[in-house]
Structure 1
């Protein structure tokens, strides 16, 4: 399969596959975010998820895929640090604000930074139509932020902080997207990068979650948390793995922007599953973010 993926790089078939993978990543990441934000403490949920995908990836990294070349070890170290900061910011944001408040701002602000990063790192350029799509996307983001600040009554005292953390988290999403794209392109075998990335990335958060769990007065039941971790780990392979492969097959900026159609899925999940109040205006603003992502993709 590695040879097949490598052969698709730079071809029309590769671009079409990257489109499908980016859309799959959008849906799966919205589900992933809901799992982390759900009824468990976000730090515990993320720890359980990371432990699951780290353990599942280990046999493939150690015994199945080719071992990384020496130049890959510093790249893995950089990825570990960037994702560590991102995940701590994400968990912090979820403890401060509702899922339908935090998630759209995180995912919606990241494409703006990702487009800039793709230009600086990979020399990618956007057309005028694509920049118009970015403007639509950013308009939806800022409109959503203003609406939340004016109208939400839940957790009003922490809402401004949640939005600020969400924007910073979005910048780190763009950073890890660009960095991971660089990493998977630097690897001779894309599945070597994926397997070792997931194994290494699964080290930190379980340790933090264990310390947090031990310090709780009322500890959650282990079995439901473990089940959430297992499901989240499988979804993580599909979500993060899909977008990483997409950035190897096609432009990083376009794949990163298209993934943010996840905001629409997030609105539906927040409303139907988490029972959060969404409302038509917030759905319209989230849809504007998604529309901007679509214009970016179609205008290339």
Structure 2
């Protein structure tokens, strides 16, 4: 495996870890503020956290050199708007659904984007190796054992999570196309601004905001904004400049494993034999996908 590919894989795995821990933060945030308020503030915080990075890169002339070297198919604001709209779809559906359904079911259904990504890629002329397909199937089976109970039923929020999975898949594919054509940090910041504005507009008309609620949700918002958004989504954009979309989806699906670990660490949730089997299958899916890339390189 080439050094650039390994670096991209490690960045995607770190992104999955941060997102996995964010499930606990998102659930805690919903206890104090509305889902659109929570998402709006955290994406705004994520965008603000990138401004010093952009200015630092510009002072070193790195950002400006990247901007000048890239051949953009359309203006930057179009790319930011497209990525932000798709990101809003996935993030809003997931956050609202967590009010009505369990984190386990939400994790499994959201993880279906692992299968959806290569299917979308086929329509776009992208090739997924057999190892990617097998790795994706292992990951989905692992998600099932990890997240779904024996009495699987469609709860009120499950339909929203399922729809959100299509948005997450679209976001992975879209970034795989946009990231090599636009500056990664600026693109991340731009999509966060779009996502935050839409969330806050909806929150203004549909949710009540209090100072007590903001104080209670302060730490979940800080983690969900500065870390889960500002750091993790930027790592995703940077990593997907070199990662295969189907392979990236398998690695990013590891967030469910980290979500289970985060639930145990922060919320005292336990993981039984069924969950351990799911974690093993998820790891197997990741390793099979990586081995497929090693043979291809």
Taking structure 2 as the reference length, what is the TM-score of the superposition? Answer: 0.80
Tell whether the 8 Å contact from 1:100 to 1:270 is kept in structure 2 after alignment.
Answer: no
Q: How far has the Cα of 1:59 moved from its partner?
A: 5.8
- Residue 14, structure 1, aligned to residue 7, structure 2: no
Gaps of 5+ in 2: none
After superposition, the Cα gap between the structure-2 partners of 1:130 and 1:85, relative to the gap in structure 1 and judged at 3 Å, is closer
Match of 2:140 in 1: 138
Q: 1:80 aligns with which of 79, 84, 98?
A: 84
Match of 1:204 among 185, 198, 208: 198
Separation in structure 2 between the aligned mates of residue 272 and residue 198 of structure 1, nearest angstrom: 28
1:224 aligns with 2:231: no
Does the C-alpha gap of structure 1 residues 101 and 209 become closer, same or farther in structure 2, counting only changes over 3 Å? same
For the pair 1:92 / 2:92, whether they are aligned, the reply is no
Taking a change above 3 Å as real, the CA distance of residues 163 and 135 of structure 1, as seen in their structure-2 partners, is same
Out of 165, 176, 180, the position equivalent to 1:181 is 176
- Give the Cα–Cα distance (whole angstroms) in 2 for the partners of residues 34 and 196 of structure 1: 26
**Distance apart, 1:25 and its partner CA:** 0.7
1:275 maps to 2:268: yes
Could you state the TM-score of these two structures normalised by the residue count of structure 1? 0.80
Q: Which residue of structure 2 aligns with residue 6 of structure 1?
A: none
Task: Specify the alignment match of 2:251 in structure 1.
Answer: 258
Pair 229,131 (structure 1): closer, same or farther in 2 beyond 3 Å: same
Counterpart Cα distance in 1 of 2:30 and 2:157: 18
In 2 relative to 1, CA 138–123 (structure 1 residues): closer, same or farther, beyond 3 Å?
same
In structure 1, the residue matched to 2:21 is 31
- Alignment of structure 1 residues 114-129 onto 2, 5 Å: 114-121=117-124, 123-127=126-130, 129=131
Q: Give the superposition deviation at 1:21.
A: 0.4
Tell me which moved more, 41-50 or 12-21.
41-50
Aligned-residue CA RMSD (Å): 2.9
In the aligned structure 2, how far is the partner of 1:250 from the partner of 1:25?
13
Q: Name the structure 1 match of 2:107.
A: 103
Deviations 1:205-231 (A, max 9, x none): 2333444442x7x87432232333222
**Deviation (angstroms), 1:144:** 5.4
Q: Are the aligned partners of 1:181 and 1:248 in contact in 2 as well (CA < 8 Å)?
A: yes
Aligned residues: 278
Q: Distance in 2 between matches of 1:266 and 1:290?
A: 14
Q: 1:16 to 1:148 in 2, by over 3 A?
A: same
